[in-house]
A and B are shown apart, each in its own frame.
Chain A
Amino acid sequence: MSFFAGIFKVQQPAQRTFGWADVVVIALVILLIYTGVRLSFGAPATVTGPSISLKPEVLPYYAIRSVGRMAAAYVLSLLFALVYGRAAAYHRRAEQVLMPLLDVLQSVPILSFLPVVLLGLSTVLPQAIAVELAAIVLIFTSQVWNLVFVWYQSLTTIPGELNEASTIFRFNTWLRFRAVELPFAAIGLIWNSMMSWAGGWFFLMAAEIFTVGDRDFRLLGLGAYLHEAASQEDYGAIAGGIAALVLVIVLLDQFVWRPLLAWSNRFTLEMVEDDNPPTSWFYALLQRAHISRWLDHHLRQALLNGVDALLVRPAAARPAPAEERARRPWALYALLVLVGTVVLYGLEQAGEMLVQVPAAQWSEIATGLAATLARVLIALLVALAWTIPVGVLIGTNARAATVLQPLVQIAASIPATALFPVLLLVLLDLPGGLNLAAVLLMLMGTQWYLLFNIIAGAAAIPEDLKFTSRLLKLSRRERWRTLILPALFPYIITGAITASGGAWNASVVAEYFQLGGQAHQVTGVGALIAAATASGDFHLLLAATLGMILTVVLINRLFWRRLYRRAEEQFRME
């Protein structure tokens, strides 16, 4: 079960109640959104989208456009994560601000940013670049946090003796990075990169098909293709688009992620051989081929040696570490005062803007929040109802696992947002269809987190406990009550936290939708955000976005985090 064990390396940060850092962080988030909204004032009232062709031959080009966006965002994410994580891991001062910031940012529903980012960017940049950049920023924000977290976690858990060895043998920063930190973090980084890509597809699709009112922000890509196909009710094109998407995902899996995983197995810290290490036919092929070995030897190693020679200087020549530079506190204070003033001014402006929001709209936001919360809960309950039995089946039954696991992996890799237009087409004519569709989208986007966690939990139930419960002749009911459910509890909570986060996130695209030039919406805060974007009601946009973010962060802190801590303390079997 190494697949599932690896995927959930990211843990929730240690329990904290609100601290001063949270206040600062929330102020910064408010400021950020305010800035976006402020910029949005100048956004063009109509945005013409690209004309999207439904001819099958455009699919490869659209696919490349989509993958290109993903790749650009991923490279950004990785670079950002390496810098941010290292700063947080090695500088205590920085850590005190960076980790709470990370904590809030990763629980913020990213899609609620989408309208603000799109409008803000299209004010300051040319149209084509703005939309492209907005998509990349959005994907970036969905990919980056778990990468930062796993990198930070790796850096802070490098075994003490490896750190000491690299110090006593006088590795410099570069050699330490390349010979210790990166290899140690490699497996976690690769698993989390896979997760980031899976999450990224979801947001890419959402970003590619975003249209509100007269503003058409669509981008040439697979998501837009599917959206257009659904608008025109062209079922052939829909099938073609989905096939292309699945193909791209499978190709990436087979030619990028599987080989990387097989290769990265060498970075395990385990001192025993793995019984069934991850395998990849493509990687095995590469290893056997002369050409790749030649390339490896002459290109990769030669390059590394060259870089090493450049960056590793004989350490003996280095003088003893200089005394700490004399500090100039006044410069720091001046900077702090300046930043503080800007923040306060921004907050004051944001406050003024919020004051102008009429009471009726506030109550609309409150109703919306309640409605969306209800949808999130329903989606979560439905997901739990089917993932627990199926997850336990896969996790405890090797035969079921071999059949179901690949199916589940492929199903899980298709971004729900890509299927949404199609789903809508089917459900729209039913009574309450849009409500159903909204819940379904949330469900499709989130059930996999739960399923994978439950599989991991079921697989982790110790064999001896299973034997014992059999020896005691516990009835099926008793076995579930005394063994399986308690053992699963921490995993269910971990999965549910991610799942509910995902569900909130999906609400912006799930509750308001334009298909064939017609807008459909249900009551909900996501719909409010989208509608405010469409009508150019920036006060409402700011208020609704803030309302949603604060609600989600509060629910996380006050509810999920406590439950998580309980689960970790009482039921963790490791």
Chain B
Amino acid sequence: MAHLLELQGITQKYGRGDRRFTAVDNVNLAIDEGEFVALLGPSGCGKSTLLRIITGLNQPAEGQVLYEGQPLRGVNPHATIVFQTFALFPWLTVQQNVEVALKARGIPPSLRTVRAIDLLDMVGLDGFETAFPRELSGGMRQKVGFARAMAVEPELLCLDEAFSALDVLSAESLRGELLELWMSGSIPTKAILMVTHNIEEAVFMADRVIVMDKQPGRIVADRAIDLPHPRQRKDPRFLEVLDRVYATLAGQTQPEHIELGAAPGEAGVTRALPFVSIGELSGLLEFLDEMPNDRTDVYRLEQELNLGTDPVLQLTEAAELLGFATIAKGDITLTSLGETFAEASILARKEIFATRIRRLPTIKWLLAMLKAADKGRLDRDVVRLALELEFSPEDAARQVEIAIQWGRYAELLAYDDSTETLYQETAVSVPA
């Protein structure tokens, strides 16, 4: 029998000419009836792009989507999405928001009303039919989002970071309610596809976790989660699975030439600078310095540092890239250099930081460009445009921002915001 959903060689590219970059690269994937699949990965790995291709909102550049064995054309009428930002129409009442989805399917008014009220009852919103979304809390708004999605009786229910904009308690109770609906079979949904960057959420809910990585967006792991429901977060087996998924996602320390990547414009992949501020990085290193053995589980950092999964991953990546920490088997350990940094004075920190980032091909390349430039000045836009050969325009802008921030802190370069110009910092001599 055909799979419910099958992706064959899906590739998505943005931009054109030299600026063309690959958002999703040759993704193959099959989802069967009865599966609850989580699509996990850092931001920019193309998981939301993939969701939009699966539902037919976007067309892939290459490859095709099969739904029940048939190639998909246009929007998939059997799929629906619950959005991160709810995507409710603020000018419609709760009930109208649900009804409008039915209206679009040409269902007559009398039937619409009955069904909308039933669904709102089911998600526990009876009594709020005439309220406007702005009168509701985030959790209740998302319940409307779910009711609207259920109204069209989707076979494939897609959740696009559906819980990430909610407060902790609302998210938790909504997760429980969705699991209950799904496990009890009281909804006609055949499969659920959940896009998330929250690893714990994925392990808590899904039967199968698909891990994606970025540059280019691709699938790097596909593992079944065979823990029985209801799952307990403190359960050692749960923690073990969590640790393993984190290990896949946070990667292992690699040989230096792979770790650092190539300079922009050279052959080989240019490694993106992690989007991390100096303050956050210092915070992480100081935290690790206070842990026994300078070591902790990566997944614990989220709670301890009060950050989301994505920032934590960016932070650990930065710490590792700069040689301040090593990551292995889901643990992060401070190196002696990292320890020195954490305990150093401000000036000493700057010096350590400067020597570390000078190794990075992107920084090296930038400093060389500055040196060669007329009067040692460079327009910010020039750097950005040069980086757009390697990155998407959005990422290129971020890379410039990070490079400036890091370079300023390390006193390797100066920057004038009003003219948007980078200067060579003359006080520090750049070793050849």
Contact = CB atoms under 8 A, between A and B. Distances in A.
B234 interface: no
A316 B105 contact: yes
B132 A266 contact: yes
B278 interface: no
Given A266-B132, A273-B134, A320-B73, A168 B89 contact: no
Contacts of B101: 169
B85 A161 contact: yes
A488 B215 CA distance: 45
A271 interface: yes
Contact of A305 (B73, B90, B109): B109
B80 interface: yes
Interface string A181-213: 001001000000000000000000000000000
A308 B103 contact: yes
A313 B106 CA distance: 5
B81 A321 contact: no
Given A164-B81, A168-B81, A169-B80, A315 B106 contact: yes
A183 B91 contact: yes
Contacts of B90: 267-271
A573 interface: no
Contacts of B325: none
Interface string A98-113: 0000000000000000
Interface in A395-420: none
A305 B103 CA distance: 10
Nearest to A169: B101
A179 B133 contact: no
B187 interface: no
A170 B100 contact: no
B74 interface: yes
B134 A170 contact: no
Q: Which of A168, A169, A270, A309 has the most CB of B within 10 A?
A: A168
B97 to A, nearest CB: 10
Interface string B131-170: 0111100000000000010001000000000000000000
A165 B132 CA distance: 18
A221 to B, nearest CB: 38
A15 to B, nearest CB: 15
A456 B60 CA distance: 46
Interface in B257-307: none
A370 B9 CA distance: 68
Contacts of B148: 169
Interface string B31-70: 0000000000000000000001001010000000000000
A239 B135 CA distance: 50
Given A179-B89, A268-B90, A315-B104, A168 B134 contact: no
A168 B80 contact: yes
Contacts of A186: 91
Contact of A272 (B55, B73, B134): B134
B74 A321 contact: yes
Contacts of A271: 90, 133-134
Contacts of B353: none
B104 A171 contact: yes
B346 to A, nearest CB: 27
Given A164-B81, A305-B109, A320-B74, A169 B104 contact: yes
B80 A161 contact: no
Contacts of A314: 105-106
B105 A170 contact: yes
A164 B91 contact: no
A190 to B, nearest CB: 13
Contacts of B133: 271
A367 to B, nearest CB: 42
Interface in A128-162: 159, 161-162
B81 A316 contact: no
Nearest to B108: A309
B92 A179 contact: yes
B83 A165 contact: yes
A312 B103 contact: yes
A44 B400 CA distance: 68
A312 B104 contact: yes
Given A169-B100, A169-B101, A271-B134, A162 B89 contact: yes
B105 A315 contact: yes
Contact of B100 (A164, A175, A270, A309): A175
B190 to A, nearest CB: 17
B106 A312 contact: yes
Nearest to A266: B91
A12 interface: no
A341 interface: no
A322 to B, nearest CB: 10
Contacts of A162: 87, 89
A376 to B, nearest CB: 32
A232 interface: no
Interface string B76-98: 01011101111101111000000
A172 B148 CA distance: 17
B27 interface: no
A321 B75 CA distance: 10
A168 B57 contact: yes
Q: Which of B73, B101, B135, B418 has the most CB of A within 10 A?
A: B101
A483 B256 CA distance: 52
A164 B81 CA distance: 9
Contacts of A315: 77, 104-106
Q: Which of A165, A167, A172 has the most CB of B within 10 A?
A: A165
A169 B57 CA distance: 11
A315 B79 CA distance: 14
Nearest to A268: B90
B109 A183 contact: no
B87 A164 contact: yes
Contact of B104 (A172, A268, A270, A570): A172
Contact of B73 (A179, A180, A321): A321
B81 A165 contact: yes
Given A305-B109, A312-B104, A168 B132 contact: no
A167 B100 contact: no
A485 B400 CA distance: 33
A277 to B, nearest CB: 12
Contacts of A171: 100, 104
Interface string A257-268: 000000000111
Contacts of A273: 134-135
B87 A170 contact: no
B193 to A, nearest CB: 13
B77 A170 contact: yes
A269 B132 CA distance: 11
Given A268-B90, A270-B134, A321-B73, A170 B104 contact: yes
B282 to A, nearest CB: 27
A192 B92 CA distance: 23
A275 to B, nearest CB: 13
Contacts of A172: 104
B104 A316 contact: no
A278 to B, nearest CB: 15
B55 to A, nearest CB: 6
Q: Top 6 nearest A-B pairs by Cβ distance? A: A314-B106, A161-B87, A165-B87, A320-B73, A183-B91, A169-B101
8 contacts: A162-B87, A165-B81, A169-B80, A170-B104, A170-B105, A171-B100, A272-B134, A321-B74
Given A162-B87, A165-B89, A320-B74, 19 more contacts: A164-B83, A165-B87, A167-B75, A168-B80, A168-B81, A169-B80, A170-B75, A171-B100, A171-B104, A172-B104, A175-B104, A270-B90, A273-B134, A305-B109, A308-B103, A309-B108, A315-B77, A315-B104, A316-B105
Interface of B: 52, 55, 57, 73-75, 77, 79-81, 83-87, 89-92, 100-101, 103-106, 108-109, 132-135, 148, 152, 418
Interface of A: 159, 161-162, 164-165, 167-172, 175, 179-180, 183, 186, 266-273, 305, 308-309, 312-316, 320-321, 570
